[in-house]
Structure 1
Amino acid sequence: MTLFNRETTEVCNKQILFKDYVNGFPKESDMILSTSAKIHLKLPEGSKGVLVKNLYLSCDPYLRSHMTKTEGGQFESYTPGLPIHGLGVAKVLESGNSNFKKGDLVWGITGWEEYSIINAPETLNKIQHTDVPLSYYTGILGMPGMTAYVGFHEVCAPKKGEYVYVSAASGAVGQLVGQFAKLSGCYVVGSAGTKEKVELLKNTFGFDEAFNYKEEQNLDAAIKRYFPDGIDIYFENVGGKMLDAVLSNMRVNGRISICGMISQYNLEKGEGVHNLLSMISKRLHMRGFVVTDHYHLYPKYMEMVIPLIKQGSIRYIEDIAEGLESAPAALVGLFSGKNVGKQVVVVAHE
């Protein structure tokens, strides 16, 4: 419970601190729940930043990349002893930036804490549509939604009737790619790691077929079973053995959009891929992308997806963890497939 001091406007600010750099799979003990920090609910004099109350936090596999000590590169390392940061939804309490005012709802990079001062407000996006769940801005209306849109529509340029395969298909991105594929008139198959998730793909998200990759002794044979004529589009979320099996089952002029490789994030040395010769013989186009390079397309994406949500033409499943203290377990659970749908942490209800 947050304790208020009416005279100083100083409150306790519960935080999730990063303990130290991680090797292998992250553990809950790599993060520390702190209840000792305090914060003044007022910006420092002359600040151009934004003071926010955090409402929802997004748990995403890419956060693992911040937990390794690196210099340069795409992902800046977390600093031991400081709060973890990532995407979230928040309410503006005070603003020193003309683009935001008190009461605005925003999504973007924030801290894993109850209150944050955002000194780089250009990382925030003002929420325009408040007639949909605010938590959606950690998922379908935020980074994962944009990732699915860019990777499928912009990178792969689908055509009606094409054969689409999505790995990690029940996650924050995969569930959307499959539905975008169906809306584009494609045949789509997804893979996931439990019977429950396989049923979700077929019965809720409308995939034509789905299979549990953990039950398959031979991934190449499994993919051939569902794609006897080959794959036109593969949306890559897994990497390693899965990518290797897919490469030999692609059709001529197939496209592979590389969104993530969750099977490789916790390995000191990544698995090798052996079927790259297929890239030549089948004239494949394989492209990795980082969604932040494409945020200029966000208005175009919103024009497409908001009507689909309101019409009920697209479904989005969230796995909700209540309370900031639940964040470490929620993040760690991503790497063993515990989440069903988009993993969201509720810090506070608006």
Structure 2
Amino acid sequence: MLENSNNTVLSEVDTFTNHYPRSSIKRITRYTTLEELHSLANKPLLSIGWLIICQDTAIKNSYLKFLEGLDQSNLVLFRITSEQKCSELLSALKADKVQYRIINNYKLKEEKVIDYVCKNLSITKVDAKYLCTRSGYYLPEVVKNVQTLKVLPKITKPIIRKYTEDRRSIAVYDLVNYLIGIGGKTTYEDCMQLVYEYRYGFEHLLKTTLAQITVYIKIYNLILDGELTLANCKIKKKDLQDKEISNLHDFRLYKIVESFDKISYDYLILLQLKLQQISPKFYSGVFDFVALLKINAKPGVEARVSTKINTKISSKVKEDLKTSEKRLDEFNRKRYTMTTDDCQKAFEYLKEQRDK
């Protein structure tokens, strides 16, 4: 069973535990002793077999072999929280020719989250959807808001706005895509909203942004070396020693490789250098960080995204190098023309939007 680690109230595990008495349910972790494991060889008193829930895939091979050898009246359920761990487990099961079924509950359907809100609050379905949207469909946030509003007799939109925070914001990778020029629908205001939300965790935002830019550079280097292509990236990533790349979701890796002919490699190096120079302290570093975002807010951002080049890589690199100095000059000009008032006005605007 593949589920998000944040899923604490809508887990499909409950679907199984509801059909077994408590005495027939055993949970196996890396801390389970061999004696505890061997007790499963004896049948439970109140059911035909055990429901064995493995909550950690880092289980010893000897333990896994023991579980595979149990009577078929027992049900063994692995709850996994990442696709990487899921892939490793499936490889082990296939190697031992063990039959299995996959339940993918990683990304919850919106209707399921809305139904959870309706069951726990006196609220209409329309207002429940509004609460979920305001919470960004992020389950821990939805649960927190439900607990906050539970004491009130009737829930309406004005009540929701009064007692909950608006968490509808972009993810950090959306900001990174905007920064390198492939932001899609992401706007400068969206990025500023995210920076405002990270005002007490700016160091983390800066570190994560730099790390993701570095991943782009690493992947582009592999492409330049002829190791990665659109055709082989999903298969090849399993053989890569770099865990940052091998742990990427297949779709995410594919989109980065796909962007190679659209994004300037030279500009990525420039971004990496500029981000390394920014102070992790909010009040001294945020101005430089916003200055980078502000470049994309100006007309002519398309100039940084090159047209698709079907010629040799060397030609692409030469073209990138020609424009690198111009980009550096543009960055420095806009960096120093941005004042403290610009940032202050932006944050005041965001506060006004949040209070509406």
TM-score range, shorter chain: under 0.3
Return the TM-score normalized by structure 1.
0.23
Larger Rg: 2
Q: Which has the higher strand share?
A: 1
Return the TM-score normalized by structure 2.
0.23
Structure with bigger RCO (C-alpha 8 Å, 6+ apart):
1
Q: Which has the higher helix share?
A: 2
